[in-house]
């Protein structure tokens, strides 16, 4: 009472549950005795004995309620009279407010939720279901007088679970809807509707994640790190990062740049093969940077000859998004690109501030930089992926609003040589202990 458990004798506890099962209705003393004591033998003057037994338990019950305050027992357990052929018969009933009885509060909350908008309904249904502990009226489960209220409360709970799934779904909270649907399917294994709802939610979640292989929301930052299998140029909602050499060549003649490279695909797919259009945009962006020098035509007979520092990142506008051209390798005069782990780390560290400045706070999609013609043979695919993610996470310490999502796009042939469990472990460690070096540190 008032938060303190009260011990009742077994018969008094059964009598209380019998009154609860009446759901606010009055019950005669004769009926109470028949249901609670389950009398099987009639003795002389039995009615008087029965009434006395009931009155003793009613008195015990009122004293228990009086622990909540003087007079509470008489207020909660009220006495009435029912005229019968044999004269007036005493009746008893519970007079509890909605908040004083869990089953009543549960009923009202579910009823209100059925008339509410989804956000309010979800709140009320969750509150109602928190009141549910085991089976209703478990002390008298199976007895005739409990059958109807138990069935009603059980069916109402099934309704609450269905409506909670619908509410979470309407609000786009599919993971929360899924957990409720799984609970419903476990409790009702023979219900085809519960099984179908669970299947639909699982399919919806799979479709929403699409090609996602890993998705992790960094704790406290609301920034997602995603690894997705697919094509970089299919990420139409995101800014893109494309690796370049220090000369920012664009000619896809399979001599300076391979048509199959990411640079080659950039020219073909976003610039319709017009590399000079990309050249013009690069030149405008490169005006902000100081060149290292210019090669002579004798030394470098093909391609562009002005060199920029490794780590130069140029934001190239393409429609409503940006392509970040990142110089992370050096193109030798023999037209062979060369890079090293330190070059890649430096380039990535300089990339993220440029993304924060020019990226319009859009998701940014990055290929597995370093795995192609730049020939960074010192690092395997997993180490390259970790380096991209590690430098991004570190950049968030300086500016937590770099972008809402880092999306690393991996081709199918790269995936089999990439250990995503190591990446997931690194991200969990970031959440638990702050930023720590990945399994293989690249300096």
The pLDDT of residue 375: 66
The helix or strand, by DSSP H or E, that contains position 129, with its residue range, turns out to be helix 118-130
Q: What are phi and psi of 330, to 5 degrees?
A: -110, 130
375, 337 in Cβ contact below 8 A? yes
327, 308 in Cβ contact below 8 A? yes
The string of pLDDT tens digits covering residues 94-121 is 888 888 888 889 999 999 999 999 999 9
The string of pLDDT tens digits covering residues 148-186 is 888 888 899 999 999 999 999 999 899 999 999 999 999
169, 43 in Cβ contact below 8 A? no
403, 348 in Cβ contact below 8 A? no
Distance, in Å, from the CA atom of 62 to the CA atom of 302, rounded to the nearest integer, reads 100
Helix axes 29-37, 46-65, angle to 10 degrees: 90
Closest CA to 72 of 57, 94, 87: 94
Distance, in Å, from the CA atom of 161 to the CA atom of 198, rounded to the nearest integer, reads 12
* Ordered domains of the chain (ranges, CATH): 10-94 (1.10.10), 102-209 (1.25.40), 215-433 (3.40.220.10)
Interval 52-81 mean pLDDT: 87
308, 246 in Cβ contact below 8 A? yes
Mean pLDDT of the residues in the chain? 87
For residue 96, give both structure tokens: 């509890």
Please state the pTM of the whole predicted model: 0.62
List C-alpha distances in Å: 133 to 14, 112, 129, 138, 162: 18, 21, 9, 10, 18
The string of pLDDT tens digits covering residues 242-297 is 999 999 988 777 566 777 788 888 988 998 888 889 999 999 999 999 999 988 88
CA 413 to chain centre: 30
Residue 12 pLDDT class (50, 70, 90 cuts)? confident
* pLDDT score of 418 more than 80: yes
* pLDDT score of 210 more than 80: no
């Amino acid at each position: 009472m008032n938060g303190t458990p009260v011990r009742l004798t077994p018969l008094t506890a059964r009598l209380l549950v019998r009154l609860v099962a009446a759901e606010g209705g009055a019950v005669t003393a004769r009926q109470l005795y028949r249901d609670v004591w389950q009398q099987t033998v009639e003795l002389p003057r039995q009615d008087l004995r029965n009434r006395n037994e009931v009155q003793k338990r009613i008195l015990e019950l009122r004293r228990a309620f009086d622990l909540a305050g003087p007079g509470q027992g008489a207020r909660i357990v009220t006495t009435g009279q029912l005229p019968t052929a044999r004269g007036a018969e005493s009746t008893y009933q519970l007079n509890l407010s909605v908040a004083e009885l869990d089953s009543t509060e549960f009923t009202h909350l579910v009823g209100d939720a059925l008339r509410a908008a989804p956000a309010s309904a979800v709140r009320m249904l969750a509150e109602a279901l928190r009141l549910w502990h085991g089976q209703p009226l478990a002390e008298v489960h199976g007895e005739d007088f409990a059958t109807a209220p138990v069935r009603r409360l059980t069916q109402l709970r099934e309704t609450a679970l269905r409506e909670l799934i619908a509410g979470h779904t309407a609000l786009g909270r599919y993971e929360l809807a899924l957990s409720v649907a799984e609970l419903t399917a476990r409790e009702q294994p023979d219900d085809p509707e519960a099984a179908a709802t669970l299947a639909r939610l699982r399919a919806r979640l799979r479709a929403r994640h699409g090609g996602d292989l890993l998705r992790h929301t960094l704790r406290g930052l609301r920034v997602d790190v995603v690894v997705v299998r697919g094509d970089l140029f299919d990420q139409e909602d995101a800014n893109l990062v494309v690796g370049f050499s220090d000369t920012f060549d664009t000619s896809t003649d399979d001599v300076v740049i391979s048509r199959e490279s990411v640079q080659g695909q950039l020219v073909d797919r976003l610039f319709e093969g017009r590399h000079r259009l990309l050249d013009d945009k690069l030149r405008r962006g490169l005006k902000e940077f100081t060149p290292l020098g210019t090669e002579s035509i004798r030394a470098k007979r093909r391609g562009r000859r002005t060199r920029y520092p490794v780590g130069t990142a140029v934001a190239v506008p393409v429609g409503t998004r940006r392509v970040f051209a990142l110089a992370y390798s050096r193109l030798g005069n023999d037209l062979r690109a060369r890079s090293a782990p330190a070059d890649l780390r430096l380039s990535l560290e300089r990339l993220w501030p440029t993304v924060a400045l020019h990226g319009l706070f859009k998701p940014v999609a990055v290929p597995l930089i370093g795995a192609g013609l730049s020939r960074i043979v010192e690092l395997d695919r997993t180490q390259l992926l970790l380096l991209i993610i590690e430098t991004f996470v570190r950049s968030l310490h300086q500016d937590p609003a770099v972008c809402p999502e880092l999306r690393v796009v991996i081709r199918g042939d790269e995936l089999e040589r990439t250990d995503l469990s190591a990446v997931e472990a690194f991200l969990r460690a970031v959440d638990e202990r702050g930023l720590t070096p990945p399994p293989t540190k690249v300096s």
